Structures are given as structure tokens and as C-alpha cells.
Amino acid sequence: MLTTLKRYFGYDTFRPLQEDIISHILAGGSCMVLMPTGGGKSLCYQLPAMMMPGTTIVVSPLISLMKDQVEQLAAAGIPAAALNSSQSDAESYRIRTMCHEGKIKLLYMSPERLMMELDYLIHDITVSAFAIDEAHCISQWGHDFREEYCQLGELDKRYPTTPIIALTATADKLTRQDIVTQLFGEEPRSNFRRFVTSFDRPNLSFTVQKASTTQNRHSSILRFIGSHKDECGIIYCISRKETEKTADFLREHDIACTIYHAGLTAAERDKAQNDFINDRVQVVCATIAFGMGINKSNVRWVIHNNMPKSIESFYQEVGRAGRDGLPSDTLLFYSYSDMITLERFASESGQKDINLKRLHCMRDYAESTVCRRRILLNYFGEPDGRDCCNCDVCWNPPKRIDGTKLVQMALSAIKRTGERIAMGNCIEILRGMSSNVIKKWHWDALPTFGVGRETTTDDWRDYIMQMIHYGFLEVAYDNNSHLHITDLGNEVLYGKQTVQLAQPNHDVVEKKKAKRRGSSATRDIPAMFQDDPAVKPYADPALLQLLRELRKSLAQAQGFPAYIIMSDKTLENIAIDRPTTIEAFGRVSGIGEYKQQKYGRDFVDVIRRYIGK
């Protein structure tokens, strides 16, 4: 497995779980793989495809995604192809012939095409595995539901012994379960397993800025882009109009940008996407229609001009930055008026309750006074006991107090009611307020009744929010929002851990604004990484620039986007390692045999000339 990894993909080690997943597939197992965007999902089915006889069929929802993957595989010397409706008969005939001859290791197609081909092409060739990319499209709970995906349950019945691999970056528990049921039924085959990696993306930084007027958003955007010179990024906007407004503003400041939304013609959308992928524009101002087809690995930043409707959407969107693992920044603007708009959307949607809950989780993230990454990771069910040092709260922490007693009061009140109360009743008990519910259940007789009288209702709400964010409490959204104490919470309750809480600050908006004015919200980020030599060994910028130019000319000659030739990360590794022989070039992380042979000479020449050898 390691030999194949180096030969075709150029890497020396697997990322967490990749090795387990691949071994499982090679042993004939089926699985669901949950990894964040950029986590390295593709390799989990591409590598076994190279080791098994026959062809792996990859189901993908978009032609642009297929194209990107096929180009990327071709650039690594792997025989791959896509069958889709945009091809001529001659082209599709050529691909089918190659499949029949066993020359294609990975074949991409849409779910509807796969269903059509089940009795034809698929029937006639040896299928080594089925990989279902963006598997959340099968679920109505997911954010990208596609009717065509629903037929994929058929595969399990027709190919009971062929590995079926479902992959997604969606972390939502309901969606995860639904994917499995839809693909494998209530009782999945005996060799089915789930693999879930951490959803953490340590290379992404998180910043939230309260911004009420367009003007202060715009000036922050300018500052932010100013600190990302020549680095491309995406600005997500709530509406088509907003994308146009933002793009007009950027153009006035000579920033090369384009817009993307569902109201454009297909040709206009293709052009926008291609301009972005090929680095002809620095910025794309887009609605959420933009993204799933974007595998560009060197997106360095993502701004949300407006708040997304859920943490899933937010994380998927910011996840498009930094797929190559290099430091990348995210900035979210948060305003009360966006919140109102989104609440209305959620209320008018078919699934009001669940959508409002999702939105409120997003609001909790935006309003948080604890490390933002902790909130995200808690949300994805992986509480981590540490602050990340790579978000605005960590850089600019609010005042902290010893909150152990406060947490114990609240948790004890919750425990004594049998964990049957939501936030409102909890605060009533703590503050000693008698309501009908309190009387009905005799909660006014509890020893905790009134112990938190000194603290105001608003402060309690803030503290309990923090307890949820810290992972001491869980909200049972499906059961009247009752609060449940987690294992971590019990540790605090029984005095095994102390806790620092942020002092509530109810006029955060004003204070934060004042604080921010002097210093850009993002200026600290590059410094952060420079402070830590372990994160980034030195790559000579002048050499890196020469290598970038070489990559660009190679890309243009072949008609590929630059990142397909090799990622920014690989380019940086070359600049750090400075190989002066083709053999040494082949040892750089990210360079496989094919790229070594194809590009070694050119790169080595540039490096030798640069260092005067």
C-alpha cells in the first residue's frame, strides 16, 4: 500500500484512517467514510482501485467534479475517465472500448448514468468497487439532496459482494444515518463499517466580525484581501444582488473578480468557474450555488458576507479553503438583520423546527466567547479540551473568571430534575423563580432552588451557552431542548475539574467594534504561523515564485489549471527540499513516479540555475 501511495500519489505516509479504510476495502469490505473537505477522501478509493483487478466506478453529482478528478488522476499517470452527457458519441465509444479492454482503473459517472449502464457497460466489465462521492446527496436531510441519488440502493442488491464506499464531508448525525439506510437498508451487510475522522481542519483560522453596515463590511473585506495579496478566495453572499454589489465594489478597487449564482446561464457559470480555477481572477463573489464542483486546492481564504443557515453549510463552505493543508483564513460577518432574514427563511421552509435549530447553532458560533473551533468540534460530536490559538477569540480573549461553582450549580439543578428541563426552567430554578411548571413538579423544593439568585437571568443564559459550547451540556433538540449532562460535565460536577468562564458582556457589539477598529481582524494570522517554525519550514519566496512560474507554463502548455499539475503544498515542499537531481525530486512529498519523470528535468534545472549549481 505504501509503495502504491508513493508511486502514484507521491506521499510517504497515510493520513489518519486512510490506511484502515484502504485495508478494509482491499479485504472486500464496504464502508461509509466521513472526513472533512480536504481530508483526503478521494485517495481512500483511488488507491485500492490501483491495487484491485478491474475498474472502480465512481458516482459523482457534477460534471465539473468528474472533470477535475479525471484531470488530477491523469496528471498522476492514472488511467481514469468520465462518462457523461456532454460527450460526443465518438468520445463515449472510445471510453467504453477502453473499459472493455480493462484499461481504465477509475470510471466516473452520474447516478442516473450508472443506473442506465447497469445492464450494459457495467454488466460487461469487472467492477472492483463502487465509490459514491458526495454521498449526502442521497438524503433529504442533507443540504444538497438529489433525487437521482435515491436509486443507488439498487447497487447493494445487485452487487452484494462488491465493496460499496460512500464518502461525505457532512457531519450531521441524521444525514449520516440516512445515507447508510438508503444505501444498505436497515441491516447493512456484515462487512460494512463506518470510518469517521476528526472534523478539525487545523490549517483554517476562524474570525467573526459583527458588521451592521455594508460600508464597514466593505472596508473590512478590502483590508482582508489586502493581507492576502495574490491569493485567491471566495466571498459567499446571501443573494444574487449581493454578489453583484460586492463584485462592483471590488472592481472599483482594482481587484480582479467574477460573480457566480444560479441566475447566470450555464455558459456564464462555466466561464466564472474556469476563470477562478485557472487563476484569471482572484476573487469569486458567489451564492451557495458555487462550490460543490470546486476542487481547487489553493483557495487561501473564504469570507461569508452573510451568515450561512447552518454550521454544516458554513463548514462545508469554509472547507473549500486550504485543501492543500496550507494555512488559510476564514471570516464571517454577523449581523442582526441577516439573522432576521434567515429566521424568516427557516420558518417558511418545509422543515421549520429543524432548520431553526440549525440556524441557532450557527448563531451560537457567531456570538461565542469561547474558542470558535471548540464550538465547531463540539457540534460535530468531538469535544476537545483545548483552545485552538487559531481563532479570533483565542487571539483576543474575553475576561475570564473561575466558573466552577456556577457550572456546578447549573449542572446540579439539571441533574436533580432528572435532566428534564430546558434552559428557561433551569434558570428559573437557579434564580428561585416560581412558575407553574416549577410548582407542578415541586422543583421549588430542590436544594438548588434559588442558589444562583445573585446572577442575572441574562448572565445565566450566557453562562449556560458557554457550558454547552464547552461540552458540559448537550441540548436534546429532538426532546424539547432538554439539557443533558455529558461525561465531561460530570467531571466538573463532581469536582474533578475546574472551569474558567468568560465574563458576560452584553454590549459586545459596541466594545468589539471599538477594539477591532485599530487592528485588522486578520493581521495576526500570518504572524501566528511565522512564530511557530515547526509549522512551516522556510521556503525561499524568490525560488517559490520561479517554481510557480514554471508550474504555470507547464499548466498552460497542457491546458490544465496550475493546481492540477501540483498543489501549492507540493510546490512549497520542492522549494524547501531544493532537489538538484531527478532522483531527489522524486523523493519530495507529493511527487509520484509519473510526475518525477514528466517534470523532474524542468524543476531541477530551475533550482540548479537559482542556486548557481
Q: Are 321 and 202 in contact (CB under 8 A)?
A: no
**C-beta neighbour count of 94 within 10 angstroms:** 13
CA dist 323 and 42 (Å) reads: 12
Count of helix runs (H) and strand runs (E) in the chain: 29, 17
Helix/strand/coil for 302: strand
Contact between 42 and ligand ADP (CB under 6 A)? Answer: yes
By CB under 5 A, name the one of 208, 281, 331, 388 that touches Zn ion: 388
| Candidate segments 82-90, 162-170, 338-346, 381-389, binder of Zn ion by CB under 5 A | 381-389
Question: Phi first, then psi: what are they for 38, rounded to 5°?
Answer: 85, 0
Of the two residues 14 and 195, which places its CB atom closer to ligand ADP in the complex?
A: 14
Site string for ligand ADP, 289-308 (x = CB under 6 A): ------x-x-----------
Return the one option of Zn ion, ligand ADP, none that residue 258 interacts with (CB less than 5 to 8 A, by type).
none
Side chain identity, residue 200: D
For the chain, give the number of residues: 613
Choose one: 33-41, 134-142, 171-179, 596-604; the region binding ligand ADP (CB under 6 A): 33-41
Q: Interaction with ligand ADP in 548-577: which residues (CB under 6 A)?
A: 567
- Please report the beta strands in 53-149, taking only residues with DSSP state E, as ranges in sequence order: 55-59, 80-82, 106-109, 127-132
- At residue 498, the 3 state secondary structure works out as coil
Which is nearer to ligand ADP, 14 or 315 (by Cβ)? 14
Pick what 391 binds: Zn ion, ligand ADP, none; C-beta below 5 to 8 Å, kind-dependent: Zn ion
40 binds, among Zn ion, ligand ADP, none (CB under 5 to 8 A by kind): ligand ADP
Nearer to ligand ADP, 7 or 484 (CB): 7
3-state secondary structure at position 257: strand
3-state secondary structure of 282: coil
Q: Which of 83, 237, 342, 391 binds Zn ion (CB under 5 A)?
A: 391
CB of residue 126 vs ligand ADP: minimum separation in angstroms?
Answer: 25
Residues 305-324 that bind ligand ADP (CB under 6 A): 323-324
Neighbours of 544 (CB within 10 A): 16
Q: Which residue's CB is nearer to ligand ADP, number 31 or number 493?
A: 31
Closest approach, Cβ 492 to Zn ion, in A, equals 20
Of these, 8, 17, 18, 228, which contacts ligand ADP (CB under 6 A)?
18
Give 366 or 562: the residue with its C-beta nearer to Zn ion: 366
Pick one of ligand ADP, Zn ion, none as the site partner of residue 388 (Cβ within 5 to 8 A by kind): Zn ion
By beta-carbon proximity to Zn ion, the closer residue of 384 and 602 is 384
Compute the C-alpha angle 275/280/283, nearest 5°: 80
Measured CA to CA, the distance from residue 111 to residue 190 in angstroms comes to 25
Tell me which of 394, 426, 473, 488 binds Zn ion, using CB under 5 A: 394
Give the residue, chosen from 4, 7, 15, 441, that forms a contact with ligand ADP under the rule CB under 6 A.
Answer: 15
In three-state secondary structure terms, 186 is coil
Q: Comparing C-alpha atoms, which of 208, 172, 195 is closest to residue 32?
A: 195
Residue for grid cell 441533574 = 415
Check: CB of residue 325 under 8 Å from CB of residue 569.
yes
Contact region with Zn ion (CB under 5 A), list: 10-18, 327-335, 368-376, 546-554: 368-376
User: What is the rounded CA–CA span in Å between residue 83 and residue 70?
Assistant: 11
Residue 371 makes contact with Zn ion by CB under 5 A: yes
Per partner kind, with CB cut-offs from 5 to 8 A, the member of Zn ion, ligand ADP, none near residue 371 is Zn ion
370 binds Zn ion (CB under 5 A): no
Residue (324 or 364) nearer to ligand ADP, CB: 324
Interior CA angle at 569 toward 564 and 573, to 5°?
A: 120
Report in angstroms how near the CB of residue 373 gets to Zn ion at its nearest.
5
Q: Cell 485552538, residue?
A: 388
Contact 308, 314 (CB under 8 A): yes
Q: Which residues bind Zn ion (CB under 5 A)?
A: 371, 373, 387-388, 391, 394
**Footprint of ligand ADP (CB under 6 A):** 11, 14-15, 18, 35, 37-43, 295, 297, 323-324, 567
